[in-house]
Amino acid sequence: MSKHIKSELEKIDIPAELHNRVKLGVNQAKEEMLAEQNHTPRKRPSKRNKWKVGGLVAASILTITLSSGFVHPSMNQVLASTPLVGGIYEKFGDKMGMHLAEQNLVTPITQAVTKNGVTVKLTNVYFDGDVVSITGNVSGDLSKGHNEPGEVSMDLNFENNKGDNDPWLNGMSTDMQEGDNGHDFQWKINYPYKSIKEDFTLPISIHNINGIEGEWTFNVPISQEHSKALVLDHSQHYEADGVTIKVTELKQSKASSTLTFETITSFEGDNVELYKAEDENGNVLFHYENDTLLASSKQDDGYHQTFRKTVDQIAAGTKAITFYPAFTIADPTVQQRLDETSFTLESERSDLAIKVNNVTQEGDKLILDYQFQGLADDLSNQKLEIIQHNLSYAFTLVDQDFVDKIDPENPFPPEGHSISRNEVKVIDQKKHEYQAIFDLKGEEKFENFSLADTVLRMDFNSYIDNKELAPFTVELSSQK
């Protein structure tokens, strides 16, 4: 009968939509039965391959029928332990997680902490390339917090860091959806350091949930399979823009790849990104993926920044990748004291300018009549609406005694001595003529306001378009 069962197992027809999810369990059953017949030990799956029972099990059993009418106990056991592979990642639309789940490269977690009536469970983790994903569930009496019904927010840190000075928070994304018990969530984090450890433990501290205080602490073991690195040595120079891009390494993981590249710019604050990449067959490998900043420095030849970017898995045999860069300049903030009734604020690195025609104070209102110069004449209505909206945040009034106290790295205007929002009135849309109305006694108070002692600051950066640089191709076959 063993030979008959073996033969029937080979004939099992798995529906296409369930193929990837069920074939792992079927192959495991075959392996176990063959081991019994040959009296050899079956390889024991690692802990990260042990899954919880999933909702697909019953459907899978119904679709697998042996003509003999007999299902070997080993196969029953495997099917009973086969989870909804990648189901949680389907829920969050995470293709990388689904692909890793099919390869049994997702590690289940069994950590749960309850504080003040709220329970947080961490359920699964994966690490591929430089992407760390952690899924979990939060349940309990969340209504005690300050959020709206159905909303869940968490204040958390990684690796015992505090506040926003936590490199793990840079580029972190969170997805939260209502589940059968509470809310299911996924955190996706970029590994923040230049040298990647393939095995490490990540401490996690949740300080409050919906404003409910507590310390939900976890230590999550994280690992990934060894990545294959391809050292690249390609440098692309754009002389007219003062930009150099150096592509240095491509590392292939199980479901993704990571690209390391360096940018050199002539001006501090300029930013260069690789916004798209394609292989020689036109397959898009990424499109506007987040970058992880690994290092920055000022050197003799300019301002250096090193980035790592997640790339789709590179197909075997790929010979070349074409990269599409974009360039954004950093335009310094310009300013003018309001001791004159007319003046012009000129962008230092573009043709844009604000020509202020009149400055008047009417009670608690400060009114500027101005024309935005340098804008294209053929702007769409949608673009004009965006410009009008942004103009309400473009200007800042600052007491001249506090201008030098503004931190360039954290340029928040001084409270009580500044106003950063104005009401925009359209005078002539075609000529780009507007009026800015500042409420001196509104939400933002300006103590002891006087025109002669006030500085008007303008930031043109949001009005300067990105410049697409010429694409360049890196030949992989020529790399050693």
pLDDT tens for the 480 residues of the chain, in order: 433 433 444 444 444 333 333 333 443 343 333 333 333 333 323 322 222 222 223 233 333 333 333 334 433 433 333 345 478 899 999 999 999 999 999 999 999 999 999 999 999 999 999 999 999 999 998 877 776 776 788 999 999 999 888 999 998 999 999 888 899 999 999 999 999 998 999 999 999 998 899 999 999 999 998 888 888 999 999 999 999 999 999 998 988 999 999 999 999 999 999 999 999 999 999 887 788 999 999 999 999 999 999 998 888 889 999 999 999 999 999 999 999 999 999 999 999 999 999 999 999 999 999 999 999 888 999 999 999 999 999 999 998 887 877 766 666 767 878 899 999 999 999 899 999 999 988 888 888 889 999 999 999 998 998 999 999 999 986 544
CA atoms of 373 and 395, how far apart (whole Å): 15
CB 178 within 8 Å of CB 188: no
Q: 367-382: per-residue pLDDT in tens?
A: 999 999 999 888 999 9
Positive or negative, the CA dihedral 76, 80, 86, 87 is positive
CA atoms of 425 and 154, how far apart (whole Å): 39
- What the block records as the tokens of 270 is 């300029």
Q: Within 10 Å of residue 133's Cβ, how many Cβ atoms?
A: 23
Question: How much is the pLDDT for 147?
Answer: 67
Identify the burial level of 259 via C-beta atoms within 10 angstroms of its C-beta, where 0-12 means exposed, 13-18 middle and 19 or more buried: buried
CB 20 within 8 Å of CB 85: yes
CA atoms of 204 and 188, how far apart (whole Å): 13
Nearest to 2 by CA among 108, 74, 104: 74
Q: Which residue has the tokens 């360049």?
A: 472
Question: How much is the pLDDT for 275?
Answer: 95
In DSSP notation, 26-49 reads HHHHHHHHHHHHHT-PPPPPPGGG
CB 97 within 8 Å of CB 133: yes
The H or E element containing residue 391 is helix 381-391
CA atoms of 457 and 464, how far apart (whole Å): 17
Question: How much is the pLDDT for 408?
Answer: 66
Domains of the chain in start order, with CATH, are 2-85 (no CATH), 89-223 (2.60.40.1630), 228-329+467-475 (2.60.40.1640), 334-463 (no CATH)
Please provide residue 390's backbone torsions phi and psi, each rounded to the nearest 5 degrees: -65, -30
Q: Within 10 Å of residue 53's Cβ, how many Cβ atoms?
A: 12
CA atoms of 32 and 171, how far apart (whole Å): 44
CA atoms of 480 and 474, how far apart (whole Å): 13
Largest CA distance in the chain: 100
